[in-house]
Structure 1
Amino acid sequence: MREILSDLVAEEQQLDQFLQGISDRDWKKKTPASGWTIQDQVGHLAHIERFAADVLEKGRSVIDDARSELADFDAWTERGAAQYRRRRHQEVIEQWRFARADVVDALSRMEASERLPWIHGDLSARTFATMRLMETWAHGLDIKAAILGRVEPIPEDDLDEGEEDPLADTDRLRHIAWLGQRALPFAFEQAGEQFPEQGIRVELMGPKYATWRFGPEDTDQVIKGMAGDWCRVVVRRQHAGDTGLKAVGDYAELALKVAKAY
């Protein structure tokens, strides 16, 4: 668990630092998520992290008690963000900090394979932590898009010496890329499609030319491309057709249309 938790904390801290650099007025800026401001995005993170912390502390009863509300997940998510809408933004970010710290603390005392209850079914502790990283990164994209006007990073060659891009891809994306491939059967089911028996492999190039491969080696259904593109597609922040991702096989083509990590 040490590796995924270290990367989770790093992702949360990076977003926290970005938020510290924006103005009070910026917190009311609209993000790509319809109707949501930056404050709504952070409010959602505070809400979902507190819910996750409660699940880790109290177990399945937390989800059972919220089952009727969770039946309309979008409405539940909206109510969660709305409860932070009229608070001071510094209070909102503090609530997010407290909640995410509780999540990391609880997960740090678990084995990676330990099974935990979650909204759409039981997960391993490792996958639970990866979900938290994925959600932090995805909503971070929305927040940064509101300030920077883009969700894609600037190519390294186009940056000035010493310049850092807040949207630069990091090797932490390997966790989200793995999750996106593991979630393909779920994505196919949600789309009403049959997942292929041979599975689908994803072959990616990460930052600094790292090579990441996920999925069965003997399948003829393959997705290839840049890790950042794949991750933005599986968190629904970019359409596959707007990226350089390539599919080999009909099921791989379909996967690019239905893929989602949550």
Structure 2
Amino acid sequence: MDVSEVRADLLDEQAALDAVVAGLTAGQFALPTPSPRWTVAAQLAHLTYFDGNAALAIDDPPAFTASVHDLLEAAAGGDEAIDAFELDAWRFLPPADLLAAWRANRERLAASSAALADDARIDWYGPSMGAKSFLTARLMETWAHGQDIVDAVDGHRPATDRLRHIAQLGYATRKWSYLNRGMEVPEGDVALVLTAPSGATWTWGDDDENTVTGPAEDFCLVVTQRRHVDDTHLQITGDRARDWLIRAQAFAGPATDGPNPKDS
């Protein structure tokens, strides 16, 4: 798969979320989501900020670097200061204006990424990223924050085989899930066998004693920390496999824990 195909899937994922939020009322935009402190509007403001900065990272790397410095300064004030820095320009807007801002930044990113070569690298938060990984991360963010919105408004967003991007990222970040916590990475692999929404089978890894099998959507919910593994239909064999999924983190940033099991 080349960068143009990843980009096309990103645009489709954004359009799928747009179909969920386009008809929401002002009251629904104010609903809390599973992410602490964040309303539906805040989730969309977050995507607006980072889609715009992704376009900036492609078009004007020095300006993007300056924006990272500003964000790090805000981070010194804690979570609420970061939220204010990222979100306040948009989260209190009327819904129509917030939607327009998100769509505008999506269009900026679509235009900026149209000519990306497969071997291009983009400066981002932390190490630079290859073009395909960069756009995959934007797709993952759109889907994951979109899931918070879907959960808050009891919306409907059918699963698609675009989840393969997120599943592959989830598998590739297994080591990161430990290193980001300052932990030693367990020796050995985990075999991952997932059923795609289309019915296809996706596989990664090679281990007969540590396996994860089940719906691709459930695996993506776990590695993006939107569901606890015990609240999914995933079948886990082996201590190494379970140890991974209770701390899996497919996204950058400080180590975080996903939700507790519903029955806990």
Shift of residue 126, structure 1, vs aligned partner:
0.5
Q: Secondary structure in 2 aligned to 1:95?
A: helix
Percent of counterpart pairs with the same letter?
A: 31
CA distance in 2, matches of 1:65, 1:146: 31
Tell me whether 1:143 sits opposite 2:132 in the alignment: no
CA 1:221–1:107: 2 relative to 1, 3 Å: farther
Q: Secondary structure in 2 aligned to 1:121?
A: strand
1:229 pairs with 218, 237, 248, which one?
218
TM-score (norm 2): 0.84
CA distance in 2, matches of 1:78, 1:237: 23
Shift of residue 112, structure 1, vs aligned partner:
2.4
Tell me whether 1:126 sits opposite 2:132 in the alignment: yes
Structure 1 residues 1-262: aligned runs within 5 Å: 1-59=3-61, 62-63=64-65, 65-67=67-69, 69-70=71-72, 72=75, 74=79, 75-148=81-154, 166-215=156-205, 217=206, 220-262=209-251
Shift of residue 227, structure 1, vs aligned partner:
0.4
Alpha-carbon deviations, 1:223-247, whole Å to 9, x = none?
A: 2221011000111110011112233
Q: In the alignment, residue 92 of structure 1 is paired with which amino acid? A: L
CA distance in 2, matches of 1:131, 1:179: 8
Shift of residue 104, structure 1, vs aligned partner:
2.2
CA distance in 1, matches of 2:185, 2:82: 29
- What root-mean-square deviation, in Å, do the aligned CA atoms of Structure 1 and Structure 2 show? 2.1
Shift of residue 251, structure 1, vs aligned partner:
2.1
CA 1:225–1:54: 2 relative to 1, 3 Å: same
TM-score (norm 1): 0.85
Ranges in structure 1 where 5+ consecutive residues have no aligned partner: 149-164
CA 1:228–1:78: 2 relative to 1, 3 Å: farther
CA distance in 1, matches of 2:136, 2:243: 24
Contact 2:167 2:220 in 1 (8 A): yes
CA distance in 1, matches of 2:130, 2:231: 33
Shift of residue 119, structure 1, vs aligned partner:
0.7
Q: Which deviates more, 30-39 or 226-235? A: 30-39
Following TM superposition, where does structure 1 have runs of at least 4 consecutive aligned residues deviating by more than 6 angstroms?
Answer: none
Contact 2:194 2:213 in 1 (8 A): yes
CA distance in 1, matches of 2:110, 2:191: 30
CA distance in 1, matches of 2:184, 2:199: 33
Shift of residue 191, structure 1, vs aligned partner:
2.5
Q: Secondary structure in 1 aligned to 2:198?
A: helix
CA distance in 2, matches of 1:84, 1:142: 18
Ranges in structure 2 where 5+ consecutive residues have no aligned partner: 252-264
Contact 2:119 2:131 in 1 (8 A): yes
How many residue pairs align between the two structures?
Answer: 245
CA distance in 1, matches of 2:172, 2:83: 24
Q: In the alignment, residue 237 of structure 1 is paired with which amino acid? A: R
CA distance in 2, matches of 1:68, 1:38: 25
Contact 2:71 2:85 in 1 (8 A): no
